[in-house]
Amino acid sequence: MPINVLMPALSPTMEKGNLAKWLKKEGDAIKSGDVLAEIETDKATMEVEAVDEGVLAKIVVPEGTADVPVNELIALIAEEGEDPGSVEAGGNKPDKTADAPAKADKPDAAKTQAPAGNETPGGGTMSYERVDTAPEGARPAGGKTADGAPAGQPEGGRRFASPLARRIAKQEGLDLGAVSGSGPHGRIIERDVRAAIEGGTAKETAKETASGTVKPAPQAAAKEAPAAKPEPAQAPKPAAASPSGLTAKQVMGLFEPGSFEEVPLDGMRKTIAKRLVESKQTVPHFYLSLDVELDALLALREQVNAGATKDKDGKPAFKLSVNDFVIKALALALQRVPAANSVWAEDRILRFRHSDVGVAVAIDGGLFTPVIRKAEQKTLSTISAEMKDLAARARAKKLKSEEYQGGTTAVSNLGMFGIKSFGAVINPPHGTILAVGAGEARVVAKNGAPAVVQAMTVTLSCDHRVVDGALGAELLAAFKGLIESPMGMLV
Q: Rounded to whole angstroms, how far apart are CA atoms 132 and 140?
A: 17
Residue 366 β-bridge partners: 363
Q: Rounded to whole angstroms, how far apart are CA atoms 146 and 227?
A: 8
Amino acid at 258: G
Is position 464 annotated as part of the catalytic site? yes
Say which of 185, 285, 354, 464 is annotated catalytic.
464
Q: Rounded to whole angstroms, how far apart are CA atoms 202 and 165?
A: 13
Q: Rounded to whole angstroms, how far apart are CA atoms 271 and 22?
A: 25
Residue 73 β-bridge partners: 6
Picking from 361, 307, 300, 370, the residue whose alpha carbon sits closest to that of residue 329 is 300
Q: Rounded to whole angstroms, how far apart are CA atoms 327 and 305?
A: 17
Name the phi and psi angles at 397, rounded to 5. 55, 45
Picking from 151, 186, 3, 188, the residue whose alpha carbon sits closest to that of residue 91 is 3
Q: Rounded to whole angstroms, how far apart are CA atoms 350 and 332?
A: 18
Picking from 295, 261, 336, 243, the residue whose alpha carbon sits closest to that of residue 452 is 295
Give the DSSP letter string of 68-120. EETT-EEEEEEPTTS-GGG---TTTS--TTS-HHHHHHS--GGGSPPPSS-B-
How far apart, in Å, are the Cα atoms of 285 and each of 306, 334, 343, 471, 476? 41, 19, 13, 14, 16
Q: Rounded to whole angstroms, how far apart are CA atoms 49 and 464?
A: 42
Which positions are annotated as active-site residues? 464
